[in-house]
Amino acid sequence: MQLPIYQADAFTSQTFGGNPAALVPLEAWLPDELLQRIAAENNLSETAFTVAKEDGFELRWFTPVAEVPLCGHATLAAAHLLWSEYGFAGGEIRFFTHSGPLIARRTGDGIALDFPAQIPRPVELEKHFVAPFGIEPEEALVEDMEGGKLLLVFASEQQIRDLQPDFRAVANLPYQGVVCTAAGKECDFVSRFFAPNVGIDEDPVTGSAHTLLTPLWSAKLGKLRLVARQVSPRGGDLCCELRGERVILEGKAVTYLRGEIIVPDWGQCHQ
């Protein structure tokens, strides 16, 4: 079996920046274990899979070790690739996901994603939140879902840039990942995201984290529209806007790869 594959760098205007993600468009869903093996073989933070429907695309996201309920950068990459490489026409793409319907729209300067806002819940700042990072944050919040993300607010952008976490200690925390954030010097806020327990020590740019960060910093700064930068080694830029119960994430993407993958007979692989 031969399948098309594309790869793009998301939340950047330059190749080798932002966050790389793969897209594998399918005619029909393959077994979940096979999708997971393809994602593991790609060894990117996310591989997106789509199946066309009459009014859009079903969309799922896999890290090298697990399926995730929401991924912003791979959605941006998928939309970009469906428009630029796969021949999809029109200014809007509807995606149907485990997190509900998502919409990607072309803008004059990129692609805007319409995601549900996630309001983080403050929690007590516990000692084991500090141990992986060697520096005490000012505030702790959690995503209001079982096994969601932990948010740690630090005093300065430089502290975020200088973090050298103990990834084993991060993986021992009972969360999908840890978002570390602070007010920015040349933007409204900065962040980094660590998720070793789902196979990603550090994610270069994390759209889903900004569905939490946007409500948080909107409340702190008294602004609905914010400029954000994820200060990972690759780096990435996002424009974020809080619209009621939705977050609009706007960014750019560039195509890196187009090709074909050869998948052996799944029945033989399973024997």
* 149 and 60 within one domain: no
Instruction: Give yes or no for residue 266 having a pLDDT over 90.
Output: no
d(CA 269, CA 250): 41
Query: 142: how many CB neighbours lie within 10 A of its CB?
Result: 17
* 166 and 239 within one domain: yes
d(CA 113, CA 115): 6
Phi first, then psi: give them for residue 116, nearest 5 degrees.
-70, 135
Q: What is the CATH number of the domain that holds 207?
A: 3.10.310.10
* 137 and 214 within one domain: yes
* 239 and 139 within one domain: yes
* 232 and 129 within one domain: yes
pLDDT, residue 148, reads 87
Mean pLDDT of 164-170: 96
* 260 and 240 within one domain: no
Query: 96: how many CB neighbours lie within 10 A of its CB?
Result: 17
Q: Provide the number of structural domains found in the chain.
A: 2
The answer to whether the CB of 140 falls within 8 A of the CB of 125 is yes
* 105 and 18 within one domain: yes
Name the 3-class secondary structure at 63: coil
d(CA 150, CA 196): 13
Round the average pLDDT of the chain to a whole number and report it: 93
* 142 and 35 within one domain: no
pLDDT, residue 8, reads 97
The answer to whether the CB of 154 falls within 8 A of the CB of 160 is yes
pLDDT, residue 270, reads 59
Instruction: Give yes or no for residue 4 having a pLDDT over 70.
Output: yes
The reported pTM is 0.86
State yes or no: is 250 an active-site residue: no
The answer to whether the CB of 22 falls within 8 A of the CB of 5 is yes
* 184 and 75 within one domain: no
- DSSP sequence for 224-241: SEEEEEE-SSS-EEEEEE
* 163 and 102 within one domain: no
* 202 and 137 within one domain: yes
Q: Which of 28, 24, 25, 50 is nearest to 39 (CA)?
A: 24
Mean pLDDT of 171-196: 96
Instruction: Give yes or no for residue 90 having a pLDDT over 60.
Output: yes
d(CA 141, CA 212): 10
Phi first, then psi: give them for residue 199, nearest 5 degrees.
90, 10
pLDDT, residue 198, reads 83
Q: Pick the catalytic residue from 41, 46, 241, 260.
A: 46
Task: Give pLDDT tens digits for 226-248.
Answer: 999 999 999 999 999 999 999 99
Task: Give pLDDT tens digits for 121-160.
Answer: 999 998 899 999 999 999 999 997 767 899 999 999 999 9
Instruction: Give yes or no for residue 271 having a pLDDT over 70.
Output: no
Structural domain of 219: 121-244
Mean pLDDT of 4-21: 95
The size of the chain, in residues, is 271
Instruction: Give yes or no for residue 22 having a pLDDT over 60.
Output: yes
* 213 and 125 within one domain: yes
